[in-house]
Each structure stands twice: as structure tokens, then as C-alpha cells.
Amino acid sequence: MNYRHSFHAGNSADVVKHSLLIALIRALQQKPGALTLIDTHAGCGLYDLGGEQAQRTGEAVHGVVRAFADANPLLDDYRAAVRAVNAGAEPQLYPGSPQFLAQLLRPQDVLILNEKHPEDARTLRSAMRGTPAAVHERDAYELWLAMLPTRTARGVVVVDPPYEQTDERTRIATTLAAAHRKWAHGVTVIWYPLKDRETHERWKHQLHRLGIPKFLSVEHWLYDADQPGIYNGAGLFIVNPPYAFTQVLPPLLDALRAALAPEGHRGEITADWLNG
């Protein structure tokens, strides 16, 4: 699956991913100690929803547009973060994960961004001008391991690849295992697309065999049954989610499911421990 983000900015996967990132970081920030936030596949940082690539797919209509039309107050923090990069009431620009993370920074926190694609890295530097973010242009998996353990006592690594390479899932599993040996207490968030349940279950089994405790799997299936050959949803693996995050998760997930379910489908969004 090719997931070049400019084609998919603001879709349902973004709404879920960014809503959960906000809740996760805020749960960690209940303690005053500094956090290091690392985004290994940062992308461009900011996306034009009226641009040719976003308009070609029109996926924002089924994501951020639905989230803005929904009245549930549990989505208020997400909507406020999107409004922060827009001048008007309706979103014309969509913030990537780097922008969401930058908005959450406290003075003591550190933000490290990485984007290997040279053109996207230049765009990212421009989009993050005025923030304290450090921007790297390296192989994502090399950087992931090189930055661990973080200089601050606590941190979060966000792994959000385009899944263009056939070995992407294998590289994630291998690097995650190595990262956990270096940084067993750290929080890691891994985004993934869902195309069919059989493929996803095989990958979950591979990750289960790593034996990592406190490994949460969040799956958002848009349709009541798999739609062959198309995007069926997305999810997040979260290693070491804090207790405060898991407590607020159930009502937030139900709010997201209700807001994003396609017409004629109820959809499904679940959170289960991969181990234990």
C-alpha cells in the first residue's frame, strides 16, 4: 500500500491517530517531568486540503470534515488543534503529526522530527519554522534506535511509515524488538493501515511473539465487513500506554467510531492487549 500522506491528509485514519496522540501526550503530561517526542516518519508537517493530491482522493470528507460536523465534546481537543493552523472556521489546511506534537509541547519538552524524503524534509522545516523542533533527514529505523534511550527520563516514539516497501512490517518488528531492549520503559506508537483481517492477524501474531508486555492494539474498522481491495481502516499499536490514557480511551473510541462510520455501516473500533 502506498500511503504518501499528501493524498490522504485529514482522512479517518488521521482523525483517530491524532485524537489518540493528543490524549496520550496529555496523559503523560500529568507528571511534570520532561518528555522527548520523536516522530520517525514526519512527512511535510502541513497539508493543503484544497490541493490537487488531497482533492484527487477526497478522503478528508470522510475524516476531518465529519469530525467537525460531529457535536461530541470528546472531539473538541482534536478540532481545536486543527483550527490552530487555520484562519477560518472550516479546515483548509491539515496539520500532520509534527504540528499536533508541537502544539502539545511544554517548555521542558523536546520534539525531534525525521523525514528521509529530501523534498518533504524541506517542506517540513518550513512548516515547523517558529517551533523548537529539531528536524533530521535520516533513515527512519536508524534514527529510531539512535535516539534511544532518550535524554529525558520519559519519551514517546511515533512510527508512521507509508508502507510502500514490502518489508515495512518486518523492519518495524525487528526495530521495535531492538528498541525495547534499549528502552524497555518507553512509549512507542506505531500506525498501520488495515486492508484485510487475515494479513493483519499474521502481523499481530509476529508482534505478539516479541513478548513485549503492556502492548495495546487499537483497531478501527470502517465497514461491518471487509471491502476487498480497498482501505478498510487503520489502527495503532501502543507500547507502555500510561494508565491515565487507558482510562479515557473507551468513551473516546466510541465517539470516534460514531463520528467516522460510513453511511450504512456501524463500524468497529476496539482496544485490546496484545500480550496478557
The pLDDT of 60-82, averaged and rounded, is 96
pTM, to two decimals: 0.95
Reported as type and span, the H/E element at residue 215 is: strand 215-221
Amino acid letter for position 221: W
pLDDT (0 to 100) of residue 230: 66
| Helix ranges restricted to H, the chain | 12-28, 52-57, 64-69, 76-83, 97-104, 118-127, 140-146, 168-182, 197-208, 243-260
Q: Catalytic residue at 254?
A: no
Cα 137 vs. chain centroid, distance in angstroms? 19
> Cα(146)–Cα(140) distance, rounded to whole angstroms?
10
pLDDT (0 to 100) of residue 231: 74
Describe the strand order of the beta sheet including 187-194 as a list of residue ranges.
134-136, 110-114, 35-39, 154-159, 187-194, 233-239, 215-221, 268-273
SS3 190: strand
pLDDT in tens, 127-183: 999 999 999 999 999 999 999 999 999 999 999 998 888 999 999 999 999 999 999
User: What are residue 107's DSSP bridge partners?
Assistant: none
pLDDT band at 229 (very low <50, low <70, confident <90, very high): low
CB burial readout 219-256, b (16+ within 10 A) else e: bbbbbeeeeeeebbbbbbbbbbbbebbbeebeebbebb
In this structure, are strands 233-239 and 35-39 parallel, antiparallel, or unpaired? unpaired
> Cα(253)–Cα(269) distance, rounded to whole angstroms?
6
pLDDT band at 206 (very low <50, low <70, confident <90, very high): very high
> Cα(162)–Cα(178) distance, rounded to whole angstroms?
21
In the set 14, 39, 120, 160, the catalytic residue is 160
Between the two ends of the chain, the Cα-to-Cα distance in Å is 31
**Hey, CA dihedral for 239, 159, 111, 140, is it positive or negative?**
positive
Spell out the domains of the chain, with CATH numbers in brackets: 5-183+198-208 (3.40.50.150)
In this structure, are strands 110-114 and 134-136 parallel, antiparallel, or unpaired? parallel
pLDDT in tens, 83-120: 999 997 789 999 999 999 999 999 999 999 999 999 99
pLDDT (0 to 100) of residue 232: 83
Burial group, residue 182, by CB count within 10 angstroms (0-12, 13-18, 19+):
exposed
Residue 222 above 60 pLDDT?
A: yes
Q: Are 84 and 130 in contact (CB under 8 A)?
A: no
Residue 1 above 50 pLDDT?
A: no
